[in-house]
Chains A and B, each alone.
Chain A
């Protein structure tokens, strides 16, 4: 039983019982936000952390799924059809996105995803006949799976929680699978992986699809949560926020993006209560994290913890050794 497993167990129990100890609808809603942003961050982390491909266009994919859901519902489709078709559209967009951006890696990948994300934002903003432009699309009502209405904040929280747990388990299995190992291989040594007979491009492409699927799931939860979707959700700021979650928490860790989501959503909600300048703070946090703790909060804290633990052990050893040494003449 490692420290990590105990921490995960406590986290799970705390989240599962959250509506019972968390006071007030506002905080339950913030918790739902944290969970679907955590799904989004987990999805982005598959690319940023495990594949070493930094995407600055993921808010575009998130938005495609949200808009598709909103549009289909407005056209009179049922919830099940809307969600399924939105997922298909989202993953298909991801495939196009990936096919274009995977022509390069490194900075090239960042720039192409950024440009693609901005193009999707531009479409949402200007293609008024489809998206409603700046006015966005309003939704009416949430789905009721198995006859349970998700209208109340608590019910919606639990639905998000279930999807969240499934996503975390899926990512955990994915990372530990041979495919996950191959993906990390393509991140660290693409040429050797190629020489070993792995299809590097295809491995990266599949990682993109998984990342896109999680992003779209988060997008659909988002649109049902806010009941509204506007181009703001696709802006570069949104992509950057999610990237901040991954980077601040610690890329290539399971817990990192979740911690990052908690940090960003809480700071954003708390700060926007009494300060208008969220972007200024976001930018400053970005710069500070990169300069001060480039490996992220989770690995950074783990490193400090391990160092402190070793120092304590060494001190205990140092205290014990003279006693052992003394009997010798």
Chain B
């Protein structure tokens, strides 16, 4: 019983991390039609930057939460720069966008390997959250519960942003029909940069938040990118609810798969994707693109 409960908590935690990662991916894909293959690398970059800040750089050691916010902002700035300088030049050319984002992801991976070396970095659990929450025989790590809370806060904040604010309404308009949105005076090009920066920042933030659980190592990008892809294929592009539900599903399958069928964990992931592709190619919550 304890085993299953712990596994469930782990699954939800991982699902929360995946949500932070894939919400941005899904929005970028939905709004800009750009398959941003740097997303896994942005996750890893955020993790490395945050880990460096918490471990200490030039005798300056930063509090974990501050480091998480700072690395999120840095990755967001990096994302905005990429969008402005490179992706902006290739409107509508998906093949070119795939190649450029892939090229950038290779460069990020290699630069990270050069700067931080091949050994995994362990990120210390932030002070006060190292303990366990005990219910009789059951002990749940506090930090994992905190990650769930953070993911929930972000899910609600993103939902409020998209559903309740003017900016959110403009983004939704841009996702549904970019041409009409332009006609009614929304500056879709500016939205692109904002959404790209937001998505990149969320990915970087997720990277460092996931640090104490996953640790930071070369290849983290290639581990996370397919998960984000599966989430988006499952949930449907451009849908926040889709990313949320997709993330939780993938979180459960990934963790249960690894516990029960360790050798086939990666393969089991692919089953729900297969089902969705056969029964509902636009994803669970996606709308058919006209």
Contact = CB atoms under 8 A, between A and B. Distances in A.
B94 A114 contact: no
Interface string A259-289: 0000000000000000001011011111101
B263 A280 contact: no
A139 interface: no
A243 B102 CA distance: 11
A194 B54 CA distance: 59
Interface string A52-63: 001010000000
B149 interface: no
A301 to B, nearest CB: 20
A119 interface: yes
Interface in B203-229: 222, 225-226, 229
A122 B110 contact: no
Contact of B114 (A116, A240, A277, A283): A277
B109 interface: yes
A235 interface: yes
Given A107-B33, A282-B106, A286-B99, 6 more contacts: A56-B102, A118-B226, A118-B229, A127-B264, A283-B103, A290-B99
B266 A103 contact: no
B103 A247 contact: no
Contacts of B265: 122, 126
Interface residues of A, number: 43
Contacts of B222: 118, 235-236
Contact of B266 (A108, A112, A122, A294): A122
Given A107-B94, A290-B96, A284 B103 contact: yes
A100 to B, nearest CB: 6
Contact of A286 (B29, B106, B109, B270): B106
Contact of A123 (B99, B102, B267): B267
B9 interface: no
B107 A111 contact: no
A42 B275 CA distance: 32
A284 B107 contact: yes
A129 interface: yes
B229 A283 contact: no
Contact of A54 (B98, B230, B269): B98
Nearest to A124: B266
A282 B108 CA distance: 12
A72 interface: no
A114 B229 contact: yes
Interface residues of B, number: 44
B267 A129 contact: no
Interface string A232-259: 0001110010011001000000000000
Nearest to B266: A122
A123 B266 contact: yes
A119 B269 contact: yes
15 contacts: A54-B95, A107-B29, A110-B94, A111-B229, A112-B233, A114-B229, A122-B266, A123-B264, A125-B266, A236-B222, A247-B99, A279-B109, A283-B104, A286-B100, A287-B103
Given A116-B270, A290-B100, A126 B107 contact: no
Nearest to B273: A115
B86 interface: yes
B180 interface: no
Contact of A279 (B35, B107, B225, B266): B107
A104 B281 contact: yes
A291 interface: yes
B89 interface: yes
Contacts of A122: 226, 265-267
Given A283-B105, A283-B107, A284-B107, A128 B263 contact: yes
A103 B277 contact: yes
A280 B106 contact: yes
A76 B249 CA distance: 42
Contacts of A78: none
A244 B86 CA distance: 18
A123 B90 CA distance: 35
A103 B281 contact: yes
A126 B266 contact: yes
Given A112-B277, A280-B111, A118 B102 contact: no
Nearest to B263: A127
A111 B233 contact: yes
A106 interface: yes
Interface in B86-129: 86, 89-90, 93-96, 98-100, 102-107, 109-111, 114
B146 interface: no
Contact of B106 (A56, A123, A237): A237
Interface in B20-43: 29, 33, 35, 37
Nearest to B98: A110
A119 B103 contact: no
B232 interface: yes
B70 to A, nearest CB: 25
A129 B263 contact: yes
A201 B96 CA distance: 25
Contacts of B281: 103-104, 108
Contacts of A127: 263-264, 267
A176 B114 CA distance: 48
B167 interface: no
